[in-house]
């Protein structure tokens, strides 16, 4: 055994370095120490690669923070200071990793809070950045972008009706229903007053006719904004499917604006200003009685479906737990039998066989 370990150590141990007396390259001498740079080429390459990686990381962090701050100061801050008594909260711009930032605003009529989320490309992570680049070459629909989402949580009474409605850029339609469960209730359609690059997602046409006012349409038609617009939605449903019907005190209504972060943040200022007027107008909208009835019926059926799914999942979990307990009990009995003498084991196994036989015969008789 010792000789085997010695052979392994001999294989793993690098050979001793022998300084060649014929070395004629650059060298530095200091007492008994001699440094020959030409002998450290591999180390030089490794240090250079490390320096490039660290520089990439630092520059990526700096660029992402600069982009978030540029939007905050140039586009949103002047408007937020006019609209909210606490426009940026205590922490102003909060960092969640090196590619995610957010701000939190409160103190405005009809708006309980505004949660602004910056989701930026991973410029700080070289390998993740290369992965995203390689994926764009394979998946034609995959386009990593710098995104900003403004999530307005509406105050109680700001929206008297329950519905889901959205204006969405057509190139987002492939993915938005996968990311947004609430938008699966809607039907997608064209609207003549909107640019051809936008579609409407609505439960009923009456909702669209009520919400698409001239001021909002004019803001959405801004040609400088259209390349960056992703979606604008009004919803009374959570964006992820809940485990069951939500209690009344936990139901929330939101207006959500999603944009690709513009190169020139000023192009979005018109739409941002209009969003606040749009939110203030929601408490005055009036839907037809038949539309209200249909919306109410959809939500009643949804609650029944969610409740049935939750009960079914609960029963499956209880059944699985019961099966696990039976399996654990069976393993425990088998372990006990395995510790018995051979004769006792034979008696136990024979007794168990007869019990199972009687049980199966009883099932046949009942049938």
What pLDDT digit, counting tens, does each position of 13-49 carry?
Answer: 766 666 666 666 777 778 777 777 777 788 888 999 9
pTM value is: 0.77
Q: Please say whether the dihedral angle defined by the alpha carbons of residues 36, 37, 41 and 47, taken in this order, is positive or negative.
A: positive
Residue 26 burial (C-beta neighbours within 10 Å; 0-12, 13-18, 19+): exposed
Model pLDDT, residue 42: 85
> Where residue 255 falls among pLDDT bands split at 50, 70, 90?
very high
Mean pLDDT, to the nearest integer, of 320-342?
80
Please indicate, yes or no, whether residues 304 and 158 belong to a single structural domain of this protein.
yes
292 falls within a domain: yes
10 falls within a domain: no
Please indicate, yes or no, whether residues 172 and 117 belong to a single structural domain of this protein.
no
Please indicate, yes or no, whether residues 204 and 280 belong to a single structural domain of this protein.
yes
Q: pLDDT tens digits for 274-312?
A: 999 999 999 988 899 999 999 999 888 888 888 888 888
Q: Are 161 and 295 in contact (CB under 8 A)?
A: yes
Give 40's contacts (C-beta < 8 A, 6+ positions apart).
Answer: none
DSSP codes, 164-185: -EEEEEGGGHHHHHHH-GGGGG
Number of domains in the chain: 2
Q: Are 150 and 273 in contact (CB under 8 A)?
A: no
Q: Which of 296, 311, 326 is the last residue of a domain?
A: 311
Compute and round to an integer the Cα radius of gyration of the chain.
33
195 falls within a domain: yes
> Where residue 110 falls among pLDDT bands split at 50, 70, 90?
very high
Q: Please say whether the dihedral angle defined by the alpha carbons of residues 68, 70, 73 and 78, taken in this order, is positive or negative.
A: negative
Give the domain range for residue 117: 39-106+113-144
Please indicate, yes or no, whether residues 174 and 302 belong to a single structural domain of this protein.
yes
Model pLDDT, residue 91: 60
Alpha helices in 71-192 (DSSP H): 77-83, 126-138, 173-179
Q: Is residue 100 helix, strand or coil?
A: strand
Please indicate, yes or no, whether residues 62 and 181 belong to a single structural domain of this protein.
no
Please indicate, yes or no, whether residues 299 and 196 belong to a single structural domain of this protein.
yes
20 falls within a domain: no
pLDDT over threshold 80, residue 354: no
Please indicate, yes or no, whether residues 267 and 200 belong to a single structural domain of this protein.
yes
Q: Which of 262, 293, 311 is the last residue of a domain?
A: 311
Please indicate, yes or no, whether residues 299 and 207 belong to a single structural domain of this protein.
yes
What token pair was written down for 234?
A: 């009004």
Please indicate, yes or no, whether residues 124 and 158 belong to a single structural domain of this protein.
no
Closest CA to 228 of 103, 61, 75, 124: 75
306 falls within a domain: yes
C-alpha 112 chain-centroid distance: 23
Model pLDDT, residue 81: 86
Q: Which of 95, 124, 144 is the last residue of a domain?
A: 144
Q: pLDDT tens digits for 231-246?
A: 999 999 988 888 877 7
Provide the mean pLDDT of the chain.
Answer: 85
Which of 317-328 are b and which e, b meaning 16 or more Cβ less than 10 Å from the residue's Cβ?
Answer: eeeeeeeeeeee
21 falls within a domain: no
Q: Are 114 and 157 in contact (CB under 8 A)?
A: no
Model pLDDT, residue 19: 62
Please indicate, yes or no, whether residues 100 and 182 belong to a single structural domain of this protein.
no
Please indicate, yes or no, whether residues 158 and 242 belong to a single structural domain of this protein.
yes
320 falls within a domain: no
Please indicate, yes or no, whether residues 137 and 172 belong to a single structural domain of this protein.
no
Q: pLDDT tens digits for 148-207?
A: 999 999 999 899 999 999 999 998 888 888 889 889 889 999 999 999 999 999 999 999
Name the pairing type of β-strands 254-260 and 28-30.
unpaired
Residue 40 CA to residue 44 CA, distance in Å, equals 6
What percentage of residues in the chain have a pLDDT greater than 70?
A: 93
pLDDT over threshold 90, residue 69: no
Q: Using a CB cutoff of 8 Å and minimum separation of 24, what contacts does 331-339 make?
A: none
C-alpha 351 chain-centroid distance: 57
183 falls within a domain: yes
């Amino acid at each position: 055994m010792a000789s085997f370990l010695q052979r392994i150590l001999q294989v793993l141990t690098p050979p001793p370095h022998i300084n060649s007396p014929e070395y004629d390259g650059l060298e530095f001498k200091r007492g008994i120490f001699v440094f020959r740079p030409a002998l450290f080429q591999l180390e030089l390459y490794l240090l250079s690669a490390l320096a490039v990686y660290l520089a990439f990381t630092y520059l990526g962090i700096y660029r992402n923070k600069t982009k978030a701050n540029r939007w905050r100061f140039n586009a949103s801050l002047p408007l937020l200071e006019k609209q909210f008594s606490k426009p940026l909260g205590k922490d102003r711009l909060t960092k969640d990793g090196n590619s995610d930032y957010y701000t939190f605003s409160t103190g405005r009529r009809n708006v309980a809070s505004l949660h602004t989320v910056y989701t930026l490309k991973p410029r700080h992570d070289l390998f993740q950045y290369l992965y995203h680049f390689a994926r764009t070459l394979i998946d034609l629909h995959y386009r990593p972008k710098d995104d900003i989402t403004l999530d307005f949580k509406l105050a109680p009474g700001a929206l008297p009706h329950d519905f889901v409605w959205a204006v969405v850029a057509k190139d987002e339609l492939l993915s938005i229903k996968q990311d947004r469960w609430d938008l699966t209730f809607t039907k997608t359609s064209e609207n003549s007053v909107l640019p051809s690059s936008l579609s409407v997602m609505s439960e009923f046409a009456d909702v669209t006719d009520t919400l698409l006012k001239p001021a909002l349409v004019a803001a959405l038609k801004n040609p400088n904004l259209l390349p960056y617009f992703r979606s604008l939605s009004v919803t009374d449903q959570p964006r992820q499917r809940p485990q069951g019907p939500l209690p009344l005190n936990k139901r929330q209504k939101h207006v959500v604006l999603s944009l690709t972060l513009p190169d020139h943040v000023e192009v979005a200022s018109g739409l941002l200003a209009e969003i606040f007027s749009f939110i203030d107008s929601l408490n005055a909208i009036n839907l037809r009685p038949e539309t209200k009835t249909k919306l109410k019926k959809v939500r009643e059926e949804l609650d029944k479906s969610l409740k049935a799914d939750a009960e079914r999942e609960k029963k499956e979990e209880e059944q699985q737990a019961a099966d696990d307990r039976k399996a654990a009990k069976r393993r425990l009995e088998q372990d006990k039998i395995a510790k018995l003498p051979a004769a006792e084991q034979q008696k136990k196994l024979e007794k168990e066989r007869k019990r199972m036989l009687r049980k199966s015969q009883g099932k046949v008789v009942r049938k």
